[in-house]
Amino acid sequence: MVDRDSEPEGPALMVPPARPEGRLGLRTLILIRWIAVAGQTLTVLVVHYGFEFRLPVYACLLVVGLTALSNIFLAVRMSPRARLGHRDATMVLGFDMVQLGMLLYLTGGLENPFVILILAPVTVAATILSRGPTIALTLLALALVAGLSLWHAALPWTGSALALPFPYALGVWTALSVALAFIATYVWSVADDARRMATALAAAEASLGRARNLSALGGLAAAAAHELGSPLATIAVVAHELSREVPADSPFAEDVALLISQSDRCRDILAGLSQRPEEADHRPLDRQTLTALAMQACEPYRDTGIVLNIVAEAGCAGDEPQAPETSEFTHGVGNLINNAIQFAVSQVDIELFWDEKSVRLTVRDDGPGFSPVVLASLGEPYISTRAESDGHMGLGVFIAQTLLEADGASLRFRNRGGAEVVIRWPRAQFGRSIAHRS
């Protein structure tokens, strides 16, 4: 059961949430850029004063100072622990590229041996950024190389000015351009494979974690079924004794009958919890319509005083989907309906939709909706804002999601008037649980 606080309508949440895109730590970036500032400053001073090559030293130091100022701006504006997203990282790397191009323009353009450093920002971009930003920064680097081949100050030299032959300058431009394109493509491809592998490993770890949690819940359920069997049998015996003792016209007769029916229901639930997996896999082969499956999931909750409406949405295309009744569907959807009933004011709507590509079942109540805090954590075990004394463990939605995902579904939780849970299956996978797949 997941408890909710009454809050304004919040944004939709996909489960599981997408991983954040930030990959470049601001603290690391600032440190590297300070090293670059120190290196550029030292190089300019040594070349100008040590080797006595006449540089526009003040203009060069001004360009280097731009990086220092931008570093100070980043340190003041953002937390050192922040991680830059694709947009911010692209802007910073683009700034560094332009700053390096300005420095090269003042010191000989492509004739400057340090022109090879223009490969560094492109390599970093290909390592951490997606395809679009990498392509944009590569094109910027190619434009800078082309511009430096045409416009630049004279290369500082002693004696007569050094003029490189045109074929050599053309070769330098060609080599840099090819290196930029090749390194960007190669490094991005290798890094993308690594990112895909990391994503797959993270997904596998999350899946294994859910499997371990579900296995632990299975053991807990079996232990509960075993421990509760004896006291429930005693309650059933006492209830039947009371039914024989209480006259039919007694005001307590209806309460005794209700006690007997609920104890019988508890017995059926415990029998299901203690059922062996190999026994549970013998499911009926008869295929039923989506409407019939939804009605069966609602059946245990008809006498709660909350109206349950099952309706087909407008726009359904094709024949109504059919599937065998599975415990994944019945218990998964049933848990979500039960959760909605707990917080509904008067009714719960179960809306059905299907077309050639997908099957959708929506559970919506007219209650207060999910609170933002709970909404951000839905799908995880032991999520509940109820007091512990209420006895709610916060497992209802977790169990429902795990069962339905095993049946090929995806879930989305959001507020829309009241709380809303949207369950979606690909049409080809509807009703095909893991036990039925080869």
Q: Give the up-direction half-sphere exposure of residue 204: CA atoms within 13 A in the CB hemisphere.
A: 6
Distances 346 to 309, 354, 416 between C-alpha atoms, Å: 11, 27, 16
Query: What per-residue confidence (pLDDT) applies to 8?
Result: 41
Query: What per-residue confidence (pLDDT) applies to 60?
Result: 92
Domain end point (choices 130, 164, 198): 164
Check if the beta carbon of residue 198 is closer than 8 Å to that of residue 190: no
Using a 10 angstrom Cβ sphere, with 0-12 exposed, 13-18 middle and 19 or more buried, the burial of residue 177 is middle
In a domain, 188, yes or no: no
In a domain, 202, yes or no: no
In a domain, 145, yes or no: yes
184 forms bridges with which residues in the sheet? none
Instruction: Say how many domains are in the chain.
Output: 2
Query: What per-residue confidence (pLDDT) applies to 287?
Result: 81
Counting as low any pLDDT under 50, the low residues of the chain are 6-20, 277-284, 385-393, 433-438
In terms of domains, do 292 and 424 share one?
Answer: yes
Rounded CA gap, 272 and 283, in Å? Answer: 13
Rounded CA gap, 209 and 207, in Å? Answer: 5
Q: Give the up-direction half-sphere exposure of residue 156: CA atoms within 13 A in the CB hemisphere.
A: 20
In a domain, 338, yes or no: yes
Per the structure, the complete domain to which residue 93 belongs is given by 19-164
Domain end point (choices 101, 133, 164): 164
Helix %, strand %, coil % for the chain, to 5? Answer: 60, 10, 30
In terms of domains, do 432 and 289 share one?
Answer: yes
Domain end point (choices 129, 164, 199): 164
In a domain, 328, yes or no: yes
Nearest residue to 185 (alpha-carbon basis) of 119, 110, 262: 119
In a domain, 263, yes or no: no
Specify the CATH number for the domain of residue 386: 3.30.565.10
List all residues 6 or more positions away from 64 whose beta carbon is below 8 Å from its beta carbon: 37, 40, 41, 44, 103
Query: What per-residue confidence (pLDDT) applies to 391?
Result: 39
Rounded CA gap, 197 and 191, in Å? Answer: 10
Report residue 183: phi and psi, to 5°.
-65, -40
In terms of domains, do 432 and 294 share one?
Answer: yes
pTM for this prediction = 0.47
In a domain, 172, yes or no: no
Query: What per-residue confidence (pLDDT) applies to 208?
Result: 64
In a domain, 248, yes or no: no
AA identity, residue 381: P
Rounded CA gap, 10 and 376, in Å? Answer: 10
